[in-house]
Structure 1
Amino acid sequence: MNMIGQDSLKVETTLSVEGKEYTYFALNAAAEKLGDISRLPRTLKILLENVLRFEDGAAYTVDDAKAIVEWVNAAHSDKDVPFRPARILMQDFTGVPAVVDLAAMRDGIVKLGGNADKVNPLVPVDLVIDHSVMVDVSGRKDALERNVDLEFERNGERYEFLRWGQEAFDNFRVVPPGTGICHQVNLEYLAQAVWTAEAAGKTIAYPDTLFGTDSH
């Protein structure tokens, strides 16, 4: 997956921190060419950075960036704009079927004579197992340990499958039960203000964005 596009507006900028160079896509430089963005909501500024970073003249275009900037004219826009999040957060209700689909896709690729290793999530996915914990034991010092043990006994086959998925697929991690609910785990352990990735010989810095899934 390409982390950066063609940068038609020439807003790619370099920042040096403790002797290391980071590349990012500067919104102030984009404003000089697209118009004032000072009144854009922060969420739209994040969408704008996303379009600028992936801009390729096809799926992500300068017109998409212009549409985001022009939102301030009426606080409304009818134009769809592309968006690729930095990561995906899943829990077991939706995550297990997704891994089953990926496994089925790999089987299909093999039957067609292809390489199964090419089937992977395009962006990093964290699957938090948090929906099937039951309280069988309480009022004891070892209550948490006993409940987690029972959880693994009841769902051993499912967890073995998810462990296989974590080892088989790139960009896929599983957070085991007993760690916390997915939103808590996300805020306390997974979320970052800024992510970095290596692309085209550069270290790209970009804001944390997330598609989150839950049972509701």
Structure 2
Amino acid sequence: MSLTLREASKDTLQAENKTYHYYSLPLAAKELGDIARLPKSLKVLLENLLRWQDDLSVTAEDIHALAGWLQNAHADREIAYRPARVLMQDFTGVPAVVDLAAMREAVKRLGGDTAKVNPLSPVDLVIDHSVTVDHFGDDEAFEENVRLEMERNHERYVFLKWGQQAFSRFSVVPPGTGICHQVNLEYLGKAVWSELQDKEWVAYPDTLVGTDSHTTMINGLGVLGWGVGGIEAEAAMLGQPVSMLIPDVVGFKLTGKLREGITATDLV
């Protein structure tokens, strides 16, 4: 019986006296052909498909279609992408927690186990969008703005604190910590995730979807991520794949350097 691409690409590595399993693109290339020049973003998607191949949501044809992208620099095939985690901010994240709470309430009415209603993918909700600036220009401004924020949105934060305690794989970053993309870059991005699956430690690239168009900032760390709508984010939170066409990729090279007084924002 021939091995699936998923099985054929599986390999191990040793780190800190622990064995990790991962899905090797060089091993996959023995079946898929030369993929060395595939854009790095598509290589991350290729690993994602290899890891999730089940011949239902992800098939060998999906994997071959992505690996063959270089032939025309385009592919009209829909794939199922499963991000490692979900990033939310308070405007879009609160409704998602409300939905989870409503699901638990429905399960409770039906006599089921409410503890089974949990995110299946890690979710980080960063509170930053509702913060307003009332005070500025003095040493006490920051503390006073945070105090007013807590006072004005007390009920919301009590609810989110309950959500963090009630749901597994769900964490809340309080106001005053920074904007969600800064927090994502400095604290949440891992580059490589490791997780215990079927009694094996599996290592895989950090990927995410976020409920904000600026989520792509995380790509600066080599972490593949982009913004989606609230419904797609909730689906990913519940372990469902994000359906998407194999994306077109455009590369460009910057040369020279910015002169003094010119910022990266000016360049963009």
TM-score by length of 2: 0.76
Q: What is the RMSD of the two structures over their aligned residues, measured on CA atoms? A: 1.4
Stretches of structure 1 that go unaligned for 5 or more consecutive residues are: 1-5
Q: Distance in 2 between matches of 1:102 and 1:185?
A: 24
Q: 2:133 aligns with which of 120, 132, 135?
A: 135
Residues matched between the structures, number: 211
Post-superposition CA distance 1:87-114 (Å, at most 9, x none): 0000011000111111111111112221
**Contact 1:110–1:116 (Cα < 8 Å) also in 2:** yes
> C-alpha displacement at 1:214, in angstroms?
2.0
Q: Deviations over 1:47-72 (max 9, x none)?
A: 11011111112112222111110111
1:56 is matched with which residue? Answer: 54
Contact kept in structure 1, 2:83 and 2:207, CA below 8 Å: yes
CA deviations 1:14-47 (Å, max 9, x no partner) are: 0012322111000000011011111211111111
Tell me, in whole angstroms, the C-alpha distance in 2 between the residues paired with 1:190 and 1:18. Answer: 22
Query: In 2 relative to 1, CA 190–200 (structure 1 residues): closer, same or farther, beyond 3 Å?
Result: same
Partner of 1:166: 164
CA shift for structure 1 position 116: 1.2
Deviation at 1:139, TM superposition (A): 2.0
The alignment's TM-score, normalised by the length of structure 1, stands at 0.93
Distance 1:205 1:8 in 2: 14
Q: 1:215 to 1:35 in 2, by over 3 A?
A: closer
1:179–1:185 CA contact under 8 A, matched in 2 = yes
CA contact (8 A) 2:192 2:205 kept: yes
The 5 A counterparts of 1:6-155 are 8-155=6-153
The one-letter code sitting in structure 2 at the alignment partner of 1:207 is P
- The match for 2:197 is 199
Q: Which runs of 4+ in 1 moved over 6 A?
A: none
Q: Structure 1 vs Structure 2: percent identity of aligned residues? A: 60
Cα distance in structure 1, aligned partners of 2:50 and 2:191: 19
Residues 151-178 of structure 1 show CA distances to partners (whole Å, capped at 9, x for unaligned) of: 0000000000001111111111000000
Amino acid across the alignment from 1:86: A
Q: Unpaired runs of 5+ in structure 2?
A: 215-268
Q: 2:178 matched to which residue of 1? A: 180
Could you tell me which residue of structure 2 aligns to residue 3 of structure 1? none
Does the 8 Å contact 1:94/1:213 carry over to 2?
Answer: yes
* Residues 5 and 28, structure 2, Cα contact 8 Å, conserved in 1: no
